[in-house]
Chain A
Amino acid sequence: MKFKSVFDIIGPVMIGPSSSHTAGAARIGRVARDLFGKQPTWAKIYLYGSFAETYKGHGTDKAIVGGLLDYDTFDERIKTAFEDAAQAGLTYEFIPETAHTEHPNTTRIVIGDESREMSMVGISIGGGKTEITELNGFPLRLSGDLAAILVVHEDRSGCIASVSNCLAKYNINIGHMEVSRREKGNMALMVIEIDQNVNEQILKEISDLPNITQVTRIAD
């Protein structure tokens, strides 16, 4: 079931005008920032389908930039996100695409700073609900509703066990877990949805494990 809570239906409380094109867009932007771990200094935002056709009218552009600035769906500062981005040192570019995507409200957000970059695909599935479907080329399915840890690692035996052992040590329960890889024996991605937020120390401990390349998290 895509929609789990009554507050997915009666909610979110948000700045208008569109739950999918404004609130959902803000959420996707915010998840991108979360996954990047800090505010990026530049962003290239590719828009597909209905997003590409109507983003200006729905304030989709302001909402995504607002999300990258860590604004929630009900944050009135979404209205001034462009001015705020200039203040915060974030440059951005919107690129409407004509390619057909599986979902009509799709965006690919590429963000970075002077040292690294990240690419993420998000879809807005209605009523403000979103899903992240790709991260740095790895397919995944992440709602963004629950706290989650994303671990990029070498595709070797024992990796998954060592990460889950570490979480078990801190009594952190795994709600849902997925592993994907681009090709056998290369890099892989673990997506672990958990019941509570994890602190910096646990993240550090996981990233120090053998064969772990990168660890990021999404707060609840």
Chain B
Amino acid sequence: MEVLFRNVRELVERATRENKLISEIMIEQEIMITERSREDIMAQMDRNLTVMEEAVEKGLRGVQSTSGLTGGDAVLLQNYLKKGNTLTGELMLDAVSKAVATNEVNAAMGTICATPTAGSAGVVPGTLFAVKNKLNPTREQMIRYLFTSGAFGFIVANNASISGAEGGCQAEVGSASGMAAAAIVEMAGGSPAQCAEAFAITLKNMLGLVCDPVAGLVEVPCVKRNAMGASNSLVAADMALAGVTSRIPCDEVIDAMYRIGQSMPSTLKETGQGGLAATPTGRWLESKIFGGAVVGSGN
């Protein structure tokens, strides 16, 4: 298959050489591969953006999952924000609350847009709708944010993995956070090279993160991992915009993530058998949920 980029180096080189945004290269490649029109592709991403907006709004009004493990934290965070006395700052906590809102809706079997997966669906929209209040982007720039995220996710998905069952949480929330960091940098006016630095810095700091959902549910610790992933991406974006670079090139970080995922035991890859899932409280919650037949029993 003919593509415009196979790795981050090629993506950055092409964007720099042609003096284009990374989002533009992603759009051009999508046109080339699918033979769909630009208008059609932009319209589909616009619809995905609307799904994300609605999920955040729903989560901020307050939802509860069937198991009762998650829900309501986005509301707590927004109420705390309104008091205006946060330590980390308004934008940071706003992003965190919106990431949490999205994942709470996901856990409640609501409608979301996977970015790149459902378990990691909070980071990209959470950061987008928070950064939006600071940078005042146009609708098109918000749509481009998703294409920039998508470009990096595309590389990770093809060269490594975005599946928790294959690579642990580093492959899901780690990838999502890197994708968001790169998109924030582009929206803030950074260069394609700085987008790649932000991705690398983010993912480096999430390497080794295991996938250990309590009772096998996409709730604990997934919702809060999205919160911390969002904060990670904002800090990395600021670092990249300040001119800080990663000593290990972005593609090598992605490769390291893949190899770490390969060597992780399966108990820590979305089987609900190790890590937090195997703690006394994790086990207790599991028996409480399934013992009480709260979640569908399968027949």
Q: How many residues of B contact A (CB 8 A)?
A: 66
Is A204 in the interface zone, CB < 8 Å from B?
no
Q: B297: which A residues are within 8 A, CB to CB?
A: 56
Given contacts A19-B118, A23-B114, A54-B270, contact A10 B149 (CB under 8 A): yes
From 258 to 299 in chain B, residues with beta carbon under 8 angstroms from any chain A beta carbon are 266, 269-273, 290, 295-299
Q: B146: which A residues are within 8 A, CB to CB?
A: 10
Q: How far is the CB of A211 from chain B (nearest CB, A)?
A: 33
Q: Which of B78-86, B132-140, B209-217 contacts A (4 or more CB under 8 A)?
A: B209-217
Is A44 in the interface zone, CB < 8 Å from B?
no
Q: A57: which B residues are within 8 A, CB to CB?
A: 67, 213, 215-218, 272, 295
Is B158 in the interface zone, CB < 8 Å from A?
yes
Q: B29: which A residues are within 8 A, CB to CB?
A: 6
Contact indicator B113/A11 (Cβ below 8 Å):
yes
Contact indicator B162/A9 (Cβ below 8 Å):
yes
Q: B110: which A residues are within 8 A, CB to CB?
A: 15-16
Contact indicator B154/A55 (Cβ below 8 Å):
no
| Most chain B Cβ neighbours within 10 Å, of A5, A22, A78, A79 | A5
Contact indicator B299/A126 (Cβ below 8 Å):
no
A204 and B270 CA atoms in complex are apart in Å by 44
Q: Which of A33-41, A58-66, A107-115 contacts B (4 or more CB under 8 A)?
A: A58-66
A94 and B162 CA atoms in complex are apart in Å by 27
Chain A interface residue number, banded: 35 or more
Q: How far is the CB of A61 from chain B (nearest CB, A)?
A: 5
Q: Per-residue CB proximity of B170-214 to A under 8 Å, as 1/0? A: 010000000100000000000000000000000000000000010
Chain B residues close to A by CB (< 8 Å): 1, 3, 26, 29-30, 33-34, 41, 44-45, 47-48, 51, 67, 105-119, 121, 124, 146-147, 149-151, 153-154, 157-158, 161-166, 171, 179, 213, 215-219, 266, 269-273, 290, 295-299
Could you write out 12 A-B pairs with CB less than 8 Å apart? A1-B1, A3-B154, A9-B116, A9-B149, A10-B114, A16-B118, A18-B117, A22-B118, A94-B299, A104-B165, A104-B269, A127-B157
Chain A residues close to B by CB (< 8 Å): 1-23, 49-50, 53-59, 61-62, 74, 76, 78-79, 82, 92-94, 104-105, 125-128
Question: Apart from A1-B1, A10-B124, what 11 extra A-B contacts exist at CB < 8 Å?
Answer: A6-B29, A6-B41, A7-B150, A9-B149, A10-B153, A13-B51, A17-B107, A20-B165, A49-B271, A54-B216, A94-B299
